[in-house]
Amino acid sequence: MLTNKTITFLGAGAMAEAIIGGLIRNQIVDPHNIIATNLSDTTKLEKLKMRYNIQTTTSRTWAVEQAEIIVLAMKPKNIEEAVREIKEKVNNDKLIISVIAGIPSSYIEDLSGSKSRVVRTMPNTSAKVGASATAICAGRYSTGDDLETVSLLFSAVGTVTVVPEEKMDAVTGVAGSGPAYFYYLIEAMEKAAVESGLTSEEATALITQTVVGVGKRLQDTSKSSRELYEEVMSPNGTTEAGITLLSERNGQDAMHDAILKAIARSKELGSVFTESK
Ligand SMILES: NC(=O)C1=CN([C@@H]2O[C@H](COP(=O)(O)OP(=O)(O)OC[C@H]3O[C@@H](n4cnc5c(N)ncnc54)[C@H](OP(=O)(O)O)[C@@H]3O)[C@@H](O)[C@H]2O)C=CC1
Ligand SMILES: O=C(O)[C@@H]1CCC=N1
């Protein structure tokens, strides 16, 4: 085991489960040293307990008391209430990890009022299969050891990149939201495939392997993305026909603007919380 420390997850949703699964699968943390709690969904807590053999509780303050590491894994709208509820139980001895989009580490540090050691992170849902692209950044009072601990924890669910906090909104729009852009494209590919006579199973098998192949190729080559798609395009061939239509409809501009919009939303989430202090 990497750590015998008790890790409490405040929030037992999709991201918390992905991380818990990775930590247990990779024997980074003993399941008995993981506690999960949420706001009200006790059925979900029961499922997690059964699935991973972890501890669950409806007492958030008890869960925080036990913890040496606290993972904040609720939605941004719930963070204020959550931190207020636990602030009396948090001190500088506990490391706080946030996976919450947009929320600056300073907000969490200030609200808990105890110079809390905070490390802000941004994983993505590929954590479920150990393939997240996670970025992490240090808060004001976190130490080099804290950053190393968080890096080791998140390497159980994929790659880890350390960035300064001012880059976290960009990370969120690009990599945190990133899987959704691909799934959105895949949905369109599936629709076109089925409309053109493939069964849904055939479409899924072909598209899945196409996406896996793209990922592997990207990891394996120093070619640029433009070189890679140009490599697929035979003159006057099928790909050129498709890419030409996408260009005429400004497909790449739409994608580019969508990512900037996601980054702006991350900043907006953060600014609302900073202003409300
Ligand atoms: N989904 C994604 O792709 C990614 C999400 N994130 C971030 O992860 C965070 C969680 O997202 P996700 O897992 O998708 O969300 P979910 O809605 O799946 O889970 C949120 C969880 O937070 C719980 N919760 C709400 N308020 C409190 C509270 N005061 N104390 C303890 N638990 C509380 C909810 O409990 P209950 O169910 O009982 O209401 C629920 O278990 C978000 O901040 C998001 O920005 C980061 C990267 C990627
Ligand atoms: O959509 C969201 O706000 C979260 C953060 C990144 C991915 N999902």
- ∠ CA 160-184-153 to the nearest 5 degrees? 20
Q: Which one of 134, 172, 182, 261 would you pick to mutate in the ligand 2 pocket, going by the greatest count of ligand atoms within 8 A of its CB?
A: 172
Q: Which one of 8, 15, 120 would you pick to mutate in the ligand 1 pocket, going by the greatest count of ligand atoms within 8 A of its CB?
A: 15
40 lines ligand 1 (CB under 6 A): yes
Asked if the domains at 7-170 and 178-266 fall in one CATH topology, the answer is no
Q: How far is the CA of 113 from the centre of ligand 1 (A)?
A: 23
Q: What is the atom index within ligand 2 of the atom nearest the CA of 124? A: 7
Residue 1's pLDDT is 65
Q: How far is the CA of 182 from the centre of ligand 2 (A)?
A: 14
Q: How far is the CA of 262 from the centre of ligand 2 (A)?
A: 9
What ranges do the domains of the chain cover? 7-170, 178-266
Residues 228-245: tens digit of each pLDDT:
999 999 999 999 999 999
> Which residues neighbour 176 within 8 Å (Cβ) at sequence distance 6 or greater?
101, 122, 123, 124, 266
Q: How far is the CA of 229 from the centre of ligand 1 (A)?
A: 37
Residues 149-199: tens digit of each pLDDT:
999 999 999 999 999 999 999 999 999 999 999 999 999 999 999 999 999
Interface ipTM above 0.95: yes
Q: What is the atom index within ligand 1 of the atom nearest the CA of 124? A: 48
Displacement of CA 39 from its chain's centroid (Å): 20
pLDDT(132) > 80: yes
- pLDDT band of 2, cuts 50, 70, 90: low
What is the widest separation between alpha-carbon atoms in the chain? 68
Residue 276's pLDDT is 47
CA distance 11 to 74: 5
31 annotated among ligand-binding-site residues: no
Question: In the chain, pLDDT over 70 holds for what percent of residues?
Answer: 97
Backbone angles phi and psi of 161, in degrees to 5: -120, 130
pLDDT(88) > 60: yes
57 lines ligand 1 (CB under 6 A): no
Residue 165: CB atoms within 10 A of its CB come to 17
12 lines ligand 1 (CB under 6 A): yes
Q: How far is the CA of 128 from the centre of ligand 2 (A)?
A: 15
Taking the domain 7-170, which CATH number applies? 3.40.50.720
18 annotated among ligand-binding-site residues: no
Taking the domain 178-266, which CATH number applies? 1.10.3730.10
Closest CA to 154 of 182, 126, 177: 126
CA distance 134 to 99: 10
> Which tokens is 253 given?
């501009």
**82 CB burial (10 A radius; 0-12, 13-18, 19+):** buried
DSSP assignment of 207-231 equals HHHHHHHHHHHHHH----HHHHHHH
DSSP assignment of 129-158 equals GT-EEEEEEE-SS--HHHHHHHHHHHGGGE
Q: What is the atom index within ligand 2 of the atom nearest the CA of 101? A: 5
36 annotated among ligand-binding-site residues: no
Q: How far is the CA of 164 from the centre of ligand 1 (A)?
A: 24
242 lines ligand 1 (CB under 6 A): no
